[in-house]
Amino acid sequence: MTFELDLAPEAEADIDDILEWSTTQFGAAIRDGYEALIDAAILSIVDDPNRAGSHDRTDLGHGVRSLHLISSRDEVSQGVRRIANPRHFVIYRQVGNLVQVIRLLHEAMNLRAHVMSSPGWARIQEDANERARAIFREVNERMTGQPVDDVLAELVAKISAAGFEPNRESLREHALSISKDLDDMIGGAFR
């Protein structure tokens, strides 16, 4: 399965900066090779977000992964492989059928500081929060008054399907409130 790609504006700017610096420091041929390497890495992530060489980066946020460009050297032509020591990570996450590339950062950078301060990260977090709110609204509308274990199972399934890691303790509290809504309305009507 190939996933849809969402390249954050910061990631686009990172790529432009990396390629400009490569041209200035090493010339057009190396720049072109580095660009091919970046393209190969991103295409491989879109093809398989959990590909070999990628790493879970929960230190950077839920569902965030990184892939060092060196992991993609075998996916480009021999001429491009002359880039012996690529120095950048692709920082991304997969949500549903979407791969969101957040940043491309040099390995010497403080990745956490650069990711967390990124406006693109704030946008991704807000998108994730909106998806979560939509799931809660849907389950609330459909399952009000149902047994709490049924509501919890539905929440866990929907949250997992959306690409989130379910926090069962927190979801149990939401399930209890959804389960009680109908009981409270009925109980209040007959007091």
Give 161: exposed, middle or buried? Use CB within 10 Å, 0-12, 13-18, 19+.
exposed
Give the sign of the dihedral formed by CA 62, CA 38, CA 115, CA 100: negative
The token pair that represents 185 in the structure block: 């309305």
**Cβ-contact 92, 39 below 8 angstroms:** no
Angle of the 28-47 helix axis to the 9-26 helix axis, nearest 10: 150
Residue pLDDT tens, the chain, 191 long: 789 999 999 999 999 999 999 999 999 999 999 999 999 999 999 999 999 999 999 888 778 899 999 999 888 888 676 788 899 999 998 888 899 999 999 999 888 888 877 777 777 777 777 877 888 788 878 877 788 788 888 888 887 777 667 777 777 777 777 776 544 433 333 33
Distance CA 134, CA 137 (A): 5
